[in-house]
Amino acid sequence: MTLSHFQKLDNLKKYIYLLISNLLLFLIFPLIRLISKTYYEKNILPKLINFTCNSRPIDYQRKKVIPEAKGKVLEIGIGPGSNLKHYDTDKVISILGVDPSKELNTIAKKRADKNNLNIEFLIESASNLSVESESIDTVVSTYALCSIPEPNKTLQEIKRVLKKDGVFIFSEHGLSPDKSVSFVQNSTDFFYPKISGGCHTNRDIEKLLLENNFNLTEMNNIYLPGTQKFLGYNYWGKATV
């Protein structure tokens, strides 16, 4: 086979992937949820989140930020525990993992058993943490601020629990600066959060951090390869209080 044949095959794979993704996101999942919201949210949604959170592009981003965590760590929206394998056990003293989902917490606990980490799980809202003020060295949030109902309250809670020399490490997806992409993000926001566990693809992460008076010490952006653009505009970096 010639190079052109391989390129055509690669393009065909991408087309098929996009076709299947769109059918699932915009037709099949909404129909299942419409038929039975309870069944969808207990049986399909946790598996969908677990699958998405462990996709190769997202996992690659996790590897960039998680090893930077040190000391006493608080992870916001720990979900299915996708970050646990990336923590540097020589740098981390303990981890508090916060998430309101019991179903995802069950998955996370299984992953925690496979890693040599001192971890405690808190099933609660990140906007009202039962964590002592100025007690955390590193707060971590990866692909969580998109789905938290009250992101501003959560960011204020992060500021409250961080020590004065603490660091907030994040990798999130959100609003694209490209008008064609942000149009799709804004126009699908009326239903996409309902099938994705509350995920809003149109949140401006950098703006949220600045509005809550964080000092951005590092900010990077990229479209994640292999993902649809309206889902894949990524922000990652560090901030201090």
Q: What's residue 34's pLDDT?
A: 80
Query: Rounded to 5 degrees, what angle do the CA atoms 231, 5, 9 make?
Result: 30
Q: How far apart are CA 209 and CA 136, in angstroms?
A: 18
**Domains of the chain in sequence order:** 49-240 (3.40.50.150)
Question: What are the pLDDT digits (tens) for 215-224?
Answer: 999 999 999 9
Cross-strand partners of 218 = 238
Mean pLDDT for the stretch of residues 28-52: 85
Burial of 178 (0-12, 13-18, 19+ CB in 10 A): middle
Question: What are the pLDDT digits (tens) for 14-23?
Answer: 667 677 777 7
Q: What's residue 7's pLDDT?
A: 55
Mean pLDDT for the stretch of residues 131-141: 98
Mean pLDDT for the stretch of residues 158-170: 98
Per cent of the chain over pLDDT 90 is 66
Distances (CA, A) of 106 to 66, 139, 172: 21, 22, 23
Residue 181, pLDDT > 50, answer yes
Residue 6, pLDDT > 50, answer no
